[in-house]
Amino acid sequence: MQIFGVDIGGSGIKGAPVDLERGDLAQERFKVLTPHPATPDGVADGVKEVVEHFGWTGPVGLTFPGVVSGGTTIRTAANVDKSWIDTDARALFSERLGGHDVTVVNDADAAGVAEMSFGAGRGRGGTVILLTFGTGIGSALFVDGVLVPNTELGHLELGGHEAEKRASSKVKDDQQMTWEHWARRVQKYLAHVEMLFSPQLFIIGGGVSRKADKFLHLIEGVKAEMVPAQLQNNAGIVGAAMHASKGG
């Protein structure tokens, strides 16, 4: 069975049909740049371009980089335009896609569900936290495999700063940090999250997970096991399709 998944990020909108039996992309993903400003209309046009690239006509699952209330209403918009707040995203995307059956879910939650089903969290009990390092820092919290939605732990305050403003991979790139310098910031952040939740496992996701060998071994003093996401930056697309397969 295939369902289309779209992952909306602060820098890119990417999507592909997903093979739900394998938990992997059925075709090579297609990506467009997120418009700036990332308004609802602009992002919806980007999503339409991605979906139409494949000629897709069935259900579509989408992720959003913020809190999604009730599978429809956007409550936060840290890395996209503030005009998203209180937007009925499900209605907007369905209209723009010509009446497609659409579901919307928090981006990190989608990635987490995919990793727990097909990736690094498969078969793991206890408290597991997936963190996606990208334009911001997304989070997905699981207790014995059950998702606690919309945690948004990237917005925790750390040393007087919002964590994602100090330790996202975008900050690393923007400030041209070495891997060692950035790893120290990530270490402080992980230690803070660990103090609050005492997880057994951290799954490190987002685009930077492809380069886990550059920084994970530099992080010290964290008691929880740390592993890179196995689905890497495709986890959000897979999780979006999984969410759509269940009707949201």
Query: What is the dihedral sign for C-alpha 57, 69, 242, 12?
Result: positive
pLDDT score of 117: 97
In this prediction, residue 158 has a pLDDT band, given cuts at 50, 70 and 90, of: confident
Q: Using CA atoms, how far apart are residues 50 and 204, in angstroms rounded to an integer?
A: 26
Segment 224-241, tens digit of pLDDT: 999 999 998 899 999 999
Segment 126-152, tens digit of pLDDT: 999 999 999 999 999 999 999 999 999
- If asked whether residues 225 and 239 sit together in one domain, one would say no
- If asked whether residues 102 and 29 sit together in one domain, one would say yes
Is 168 among the domain residues?
Answer: yes
Is 117 among the domain residues?
Answer: no
Segment 145-156, tens digit of pLDDT: 999 999 999 999
Identify the CATH number of the domain in which residue 201 sits: 3.30.420.40
Q: Which residues, in sequence order, are bridge partners of residue 18?
A: 3, 25
- If asked whether residues 87 and 62 sit together in one domain, one would say yes
Is 43 among the domain residues?
Answer: yes
Asked whether the beta carbons of 218 and 226 are under 8 A apart, the reply is: no
Q: Using CA atoms, how far apart are residues 131 and 192, in angstroms rounded to an integer?
A: 13
Kindly report the pTM of this predicted structure.
0.95
Is 66 among the domain residues?
Answer: yes
- If asked whether residues 240 and 211 sit together in one domain, one would say no
Is 115 among the domain residues?
Answer: no
Q: What is the mean pLDDT of the chain?
A: 96
- If asked whether residues 104 and 82 sit together in one domain, one would say yes
Q: Using CA atoms, how far apart are residues 205 and 139, in angstroms rounded to an integer?
A: 9
- If asked whether residues 10 and 75 sit together in one domain, one would say yes
pLDDT score of 247: 77
Domain hosting residue 8, numbered range: 2-109+235-245
- If asked whether residues 96 and 141 sit together in one domain, one would say no
The domain tally of the chain equals 2
- If asked whether residues 225 and 127 sit together in one domain, one would say yes
Question: Measuring CA to CA, how many Å separate 80 from each of 73, 122, 130, 145, 183?
Answer: 15, 31, 21, 30, 26
pLDDT score of 233: 87
- If asked whether residues 203 and 241 sit together in one domain, one would say no
